[in-house]
């Protein structure tokens, strides 16, 4: 049976008055490049401003895994994680830092690609020292 997006959050969105940024860094990421069908791996950093709703912290890793489970490109993966979480909790930012094995052919397998998506509200928030820039 195929899992749905709603099943990943599993009602783990809670009402809370916390108003400052929540950041989870260094979530392990493993996926397959849809162009070359070879692995890419990296770290996902997710930050959000609760606006009355907080997520169970493990759900951020589960959301990452849910979208990374299929053939992907990093840019779309970043957008899918961001859009899914924006729908659930509102303003947020997502940054992915990944190493792609498909860079091997040009002998640059150690190169890191960084992609990011953030909402306008998130961008206006005061800078956070632990948010990747």
Per the structure, the complete domain to which residue 89 belongs is given by 8-124
Asked whether the predicted pLDDT for residue 15 surpasses 80, the reply is: yes
Percentage above 90 pLDDT, the chain: 31
- The answer to whether position 129 is within a domain reads no
pLDDT band at 1 (very low <50, low <70, confident <90, very high): very low
Mean pLDDT calculated for residue range 21-32: 92
Q: Encode pLDDT of 81-97 as tens digits.
A: 998 888 888 878 888 88
Pairing of strands 92-100, 112-118: antiparallel
- Domain count of the fold of the chain: 1
- The answer to whether position 3 is within a domain reads no
Asked whether the predicted pLDDT for residue 110 surpasses 80, the reply is: no
- The answer to whether position 72 is within a domain reads yes
- The answer to whether position 109 is within a domain reads yes
Q: What is the CATH number of the domain that holds 47?
A: 3.30.1130.10
- The answer to whether position 2 is within a domain reads no
Q: How far apart are CA 21 and CA 55, in angstroms?
A: 12
Q: Which residues pair with 110 in a beta bridge?
A: none
pLDDT band at 65 (very low <50, low <70, confident <90, very high): very high
- The answer to whether position 132 is within a domain reads no
Mean pLDDT in the chain?
Answer: 83
Closest by Cα among 75, 69, 79 to 4? 69
Mean pLDDT calculated for residue range 32-57: 88
Closest by Cα among 38, 34, 130 to 74? 34
- The answer to whether position 12 is within a domain reads yes
- The answer to whether position 57 is within a domain reads yes
């Amino acid at each position: 049976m195929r899992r749905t997006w709603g099943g990943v959050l599993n009602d783990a969105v809670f009402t809370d008055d916390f108003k400052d940024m929540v950041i989870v860094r260094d979530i392990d990421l493993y996926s397959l490049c849809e162009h070359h069908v070879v692995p890419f791996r990296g770290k996902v950093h997710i930050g959000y401003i609760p606006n009355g709703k907080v997520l169970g912290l493990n759900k951020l890793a589960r959301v990452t895994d849910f979208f990374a489970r299929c053939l992907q490109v990093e840019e779309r993966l970043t957008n899918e994680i961001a859009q899914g979480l924006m729908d659930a909790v509102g303003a947020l930012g997502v940054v992915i830092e990944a190493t792609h094995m498909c860079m091997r052919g040009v002998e640059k397998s150690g190169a890191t690609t960084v992609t990011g998506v953030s909402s306008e509200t998130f961008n206006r928030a005061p800078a956070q020292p632990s948010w990747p820039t």
